[in-house]
Amino acid sequence: MGQALLETALSEPDVLLTGALDVAASPLLGRDVGERFGHATGVMVSADIPTAVAGADVLIDFTRPEGTLAHVAACARAGVAAVVGTTGLSTADKRALADFGKAIAIVFAPNMSVGVTVLLRLVGQAATLLGIGYDVEIVEMHHRHKVDAPSGTALLLGDAAAKALGRDLKNDGVFGRDGVTGERKPGTIGFASSRGGDVVGDHSVIFAGAGERVELTHRAGSRVNFAQGALRAARFVAAKRAEGMKGLFDMQDVLGIR
């Protein structure tokens, strides 16, 4: 994802890359971030967080929860806005992001895709219109290297359906079935996760009723759409920063569809 972000940022005339971060053990430290793309930028990969964010308007972060919190904390100290696409954040991590949002403008979305953002709206509308007579199941598949399950996007989709139906995903979510589970409990929202190959990300929300089934699906063919969405979010929080605004936003705010 980092490479996709770099490649997309380097192709956008209104985006100026000022820093790039990687872990302290990375073999890329000290190398030009544009080297892979045949584009010398003069920006070297670094593990020095305060220095990397100091000259920026916005930090874009797609890492791991512990890295994200360290990066956003540095942004809060430096007055730099942030775009966070990291998945697997705990409830406490999300509270920490909300606290940082009191100091800076942040866009947090486990999926930066414009298409997925629209899908979230459609899932809520479908759940409202179809009502309690339809069972909700969410199926997702990702590449073999993904470390969290269900995906952050699957959880967002489940939450969109749950809220539209007046349910609580914490109580009504079913995150695995094995053995003799008995009949499906009415009102639950089921999740199934598959991992394999180089699948970027497939998500389907199934509304199964008596005699019919409605399916809403998004398939990502590359990471470019996530990178483009992240840059769209970066422009949004850069404008908020210029206006002196703070807060925690998501992609629905970015697209103006909340």
Give the residue numbers marked as catalytic.
142, 146
Q: Kindly report whether the peptide bond that precedes residue 65 is cis, defined as omega within 30 degrees of 0.
A: no
Beta bridge partners of 59: 82
Q: Calculate ∠ Cα 175-179-185, nearest 5°.
A: 55
Token digits for 68? 């994200």
Rounded to 5°, the CA angle 21-198-65 comes to 35
**Any long-range contacts for 67-72 (C-beta under 8 Å, 24+ apart)?**
67/23, 68/93, 69/93, 69/96, 69/97, 71/21, 72/96, 72/97, 72/100, 72/104, 72/106
**Residue 237: burial class (beta carbons within 10 Å; 0-12, 13-18, 19+):** buried
